[in-house]
Amino acid sequence: MKLIVGLGNPGEKYAATRHNVGFHWISRLAEELNVQFKSESKFHGLCTVATQANEQIWLLKPQTYMNASGMAVAAIARFYKITPEQMLVIHDELDLPPGAAKLKFSGGAGGHNGLKDIIAHLATQDFWRLRIGIGHPGNKHAVVDYVLHPPKQDEASLIDEAIQRSLTIWPLIISGDYTAAMHKLHTKPRAL
């Protein structure tokens, strides 16, 4: 894994919205790795680099707005010769309930405009995704308004738990043990 991308929209107005869970996740990872983001205009985003197991890993928060995320992802990938298979994109997922998180490789955009743009810019769907559940408003016409608003307090707690839980699989992801990472993330803890 060479590039970790957290999706979201820039600016204070969007900071707490459901659509920005990718930004929240990658900000927490940067804290854990003790690195700071800085603006990189050539990559259309906020970037930082961390060294893990003698490898450089780039962290990116595109600042292009969600619908143009692919421009930032493609720019940094081209510059550092990073293949799509070496990327992990963290994003909000309408088809998972708050509190759920799933790791998967490849697949369609599922109506997510950020993913759609990344797929278009990379000309492939073959990259890793970490999907953080935000739930669905129940009506497809309400989706835009729903993702651009903060979650209710109980949902926010569940989303936060999913972010925390998915961060615990980071060592497995970075070591390339995706099967173990998926097993750990997707297995529900047993009740005592």
Give this prediction's pTM. 0.95
Whole-number average pLDDT of the chain: 95
Annotated binding site for tRNA: 14, 65, 67, 113
The tokens of 142 are what? 């309400």
Evaluate whether 55 touches 77 at the Cβ level (below 8 Å).
no
List the catalytic residue out of 19, 44, 91, 112: 19
What is the domain partition of the chain in residue ranges?
3-186
**What region, left, alpha or beta, does residue 100 occupy, with left being phi > 0 and alpha being psi -120 to 50 degrees?**
beta
The architecture that CATH gives domain 3-186 is 3-Layer(aba) Sandwich (3.40)
pLDDT one-digit tens code per residue, 110-119:
989 999 999 9
Residues with Cβ < 8 Å from 147, sequence gap 6 or more? 17, 18, 19, 92, 94, 134
Q: What is the reported pLDDT for 54?
A: 85
Residue 19 known to be catalytic: yes
The residues, ordered by sequence, that sit 6+ positions from 144 with a Cβ below 8 Å of its Cβ are none
DSSP one-letter code for 100 = -
Work out the average pLDDT over 32-45. Answer: 96
* Ordered DSSP codes for 25-92: HHHHHHHHHT---EEEGGGTEEEEEEEETTEEEEEEEE-S-GGGHHHHHHHHHHHHT--GGGEEEEEE
Spatial neighbors of 131 by CB under 8 A, at least 6 apart, are 91, 92, 93, 95, 96, 101, 102, 103, 104
HSE toward the beta carbon, residue 172, CA cutoff 13 A: 15
Q: Tell me: the pLDDT tens digits for 41-60?
A: 999 999 999 998 788 999 99
